[in-house]
A and B are shown apart, each in its own frame.
Chain A
Amino acid sequence: MATQHSRSAARLMMAPAVILLLGWMLVPLTMTLYFSFKKFLPLRGDSLGNGLEWVGLENYSRFVGSSSFWPSVQATLIIVGSVLVITVVLGTLLALLLDQPMWGQGIVRILVITPFFVMPTVSGLVWKNMFMDPINGILAHLFKFFGAQPLEWLSQASMQSIIMIVSWQWLPFATLILLTAIQSLDSEQLEASEMDGAPVLKRFWHIILPHMSRAITVVILIQTIFLLSIFAEIFVTTAGAFGTKTLTYLIFQRVLESQNVGLGSAGGVYAIILANIVAIFLMRIVGKNLDR
């Protein structure tokens, strides 16, 4: 297959994608890095044209020094971690259930995927107002029905609320991938183990789960990519209040709300470092797991 012709053709055909992505990565990254060492407050008249004042590492130390920094890292990790756990566990259970014989399987599957189609701004707003509103929300009605005091979801249980909303959005994705994986499991293999008299739990643990490990890896990889940068869900619900300020959101506020580009850029560099740590960690597993 590999002749000189096809190899040079391959290089040529790969070039646009690689060059575009390289540019997309390097140009803004370099600028962010540059800004992070500068005092850059556009509202106070700083601009690229007038030259920016070099402040060394001041932005970096100020960003870490701010009281919101560590809580934001923590919030980010908690949201990503919890959503991953919830979607993988519930997704596995749901996939096992959907794999069983039943009537109207196709329709149930449609019902289950649908949240994936809903844009984050819509799901944020719908949950915030129609479900989590402490007076008129469905959940408030439900609590009252059972005689409990309705919760002010987005302030009293803000993190849980965000996690719930995001999990609802991503559960379909996890379920479907895991379902596909289960369905590809050799039924003969399962029947053989059934004949051997392996109890249900044991069968799940020793046959189904290992078979699904690759699918679970894919779920974790892809969801992490998207979850690290969730934005709209927070933007339209708490706007970062009540401890739901993720790193992404904190930087967004520094750059756009307080218009401190230098500080925000330093934050951006931190976010990139965090993402890279997660990425290296993930790529390790994925590189190993995807090879097969």
Chain B
Amino acid sequence: MGQIVLNKVQKKFGDVEVIPPLDLTIADGEFAVFVGPSGCGKSTLLRLIAGLEDVTSGSIQIDGKEASDAPPAKRGLAMVFQSYALYPHMSVRKNIAFPLRMAKMDKAEIDKRVTSAASVLNLTDYLDRRPGQLSGGQRQRVAIGRAIVREPSAFLFDEPLSNLDAALRVGMRLEISELHKRLDTTMVYVTHDQVEAMTMADKIVVLQAGVIEQVGSPLELYHTPRNVFVAGFIGSPKMNLIEGALAEQHNAKTIGIRPEHVQVATTQSDGALQGTVGVAEHLGSDTFIHIHGVAGCDPMTVRAAGDVTVRHGDTVYLTPDATQIHRFDNDGIRIP
């Protein structure tokens, strides 16, 4: 049903090539997440799929049908915008019913679908309100409701949670994931928050400057980042990337070690790296210690147990787990 295939898709704005030719396949029912730094072209890519922008060259197939020249309405996709883009002059009910009205569906069927979408999204009590009278989370739900009633072949989300506060974001994240499990429909989700990407995705697409750096499942990306950029981008806190003598010892230009793969001790042991504690962030469950003085990587971040009691200025000794070291060559590409 909802397979999306991008074939050598390229996008230029005037003379500026925002997305160089790119291939990507999103399987039916998959939850694909586009991540990448701001301005890397995530929204542009999503809008190309939606049909809100034209591809400069290449083609897009949806459900096996050529869609590059189809207008948005004909692509059978639904989109949830960052700003929600609700119709302010319509009640919640009318907002959700709008796509069905446009599809000239009969009234009884519209009512049925709106009612059921509202109950799924806990909006039943708000159906007669205007969007202006709702909270951010409720508005987001209305936007999602408007998308699901159409039963589209795929959902497109452009940073749908970035206007919500942290607590609400976690809740909505779960709701969207649950929705995906229940509907089993393809979802393409844009975010620059890599926690969202890791927790929600079946497949993550890491973009940088319009180029796909890597495509894979969250754990694939975590365990075998294809290059330095992905290594640094996926994982929180970020992977420590070390250059210089230490890297050369491993026959690499750069080596990477995740904070959770470094042992920290207050007593010297064989082959350990020495450093000074800068800031220690106590989260309760974990402590993230930022350590200065390690050659080639300043500061180095280390994850320790929640009850570690190191203090600013303490000298500590670090032992990376040798089996968890990622090696990268001169071009930043992973050495297997």
A: residues with CB less than 8 A from B are 1-5
Contact = CB atoms under 8 A, between A and B. Distances in A.
Interface in B40-70: 51-54, 69
A2 B53 contact: yes
B71 interface: yes
B59 to A, nearest CB: 14
A5 B54 CA distance: 9
B52 A1 contact: yes
A4 B52 CA distance: 10
Contacts of B69: 4
Contacts of A1: 52-53
Nearest to A1: B52
B82 to A, nearest CB: 15
How would you classify the secondary structure of chain B's contact residues: helix, strand, loop or mixed? loop
Contacts of B71: 3, 5
Interface in B1-57: 51-54
Contacts of A2: 53-54
A3 B49 CA distance: 12
A2 B13 CA distance: 10
Nearest to B70: A5
Contacts of B53: 1-3
Contacts of B51: 3
Nearest to B71: A5
Nearest to A3: B54
12 contacts: A1-B52, A1-B53, A2-B53, A2-B54, A3-B51, A3-B52, A3-B53, A3-B54, A3-B71, A4-B54, A4-B69, A5-B71
A44 to B, nearest CB: 61
A1 B51 CA distance: 9
6 closest A-B pairs by beta carbon, nearest first, are A3-B54, A5-B71, A4-B54, A3-B53, A1-B52, A3-B52
A2 B71 CA distance: 12
Nearest to B47: A1
Nearest to B51: A3
A26 B69 CA distance: 38
A3 B44 CA distance: 12
Nearest to B13: A2
Contacts of A4: 54, 69
Nearest to A7: B54
A223 to B, nearest CB: 35
Interface string B305-334: 000000000000000000000000000000
A5 B51 CA distance: 10
A1 B71 CA distance: 12
A2 B12 CA distance: 12
A181 B212 CA distance: 49
Interface string B71-112: 100000000000000000000000000000000000000000
Interface centre among A1, A2, A5 (most CB of B within 10 A): A5
Contacts of B54: 2-4
A1 B43 CA distance: 12
Interface in B127-170: none
B283 to A, nearest CB: 39
Nearest to A5: B71
B206 to A, nearest CB: 27
A27 to B, nearest CB: 37
A5 B71 CA distance: 7
A150 to B, nearest CB: 59
Contacts of A5: 71
Given A1-B53, A3-B52, 10 more contacts: A1-B52, A2-B53, A2-B54, A3-B51, A3-B53, A3-B54, A3-B71, A4-B54, A4-B69, A5-B71
A3 B75 CA distance: 14
User: Most chain-B Cβ atoms within 10 A of its Cβ — which of A3, A4, A5?
Assistant: A3
Contacts of B52: 1, 3
A3 B54 CA distance: 5
Nearest to A4: B54
A2 B53 CA distance: 6
A73 B51 CA distance: 57
Nearest to B73: A5
A1 B53 CA distance: 6
A23 to B, nearest CB: 32
Nearest to B53: A3
B137 to A, nearest CB: 28
A2 B44 CA distance: 12
A237 B53 CA distance: 60
A3 B52 CA distance: 6
A182 B51 CA distance: 43
A4 B71 CA distance: 9
A95 to B, nearest CB: 31
B53 to A, nearest CB: 6
Contacts of A3: 51-54, 71
A3 B60 CA distance: 15
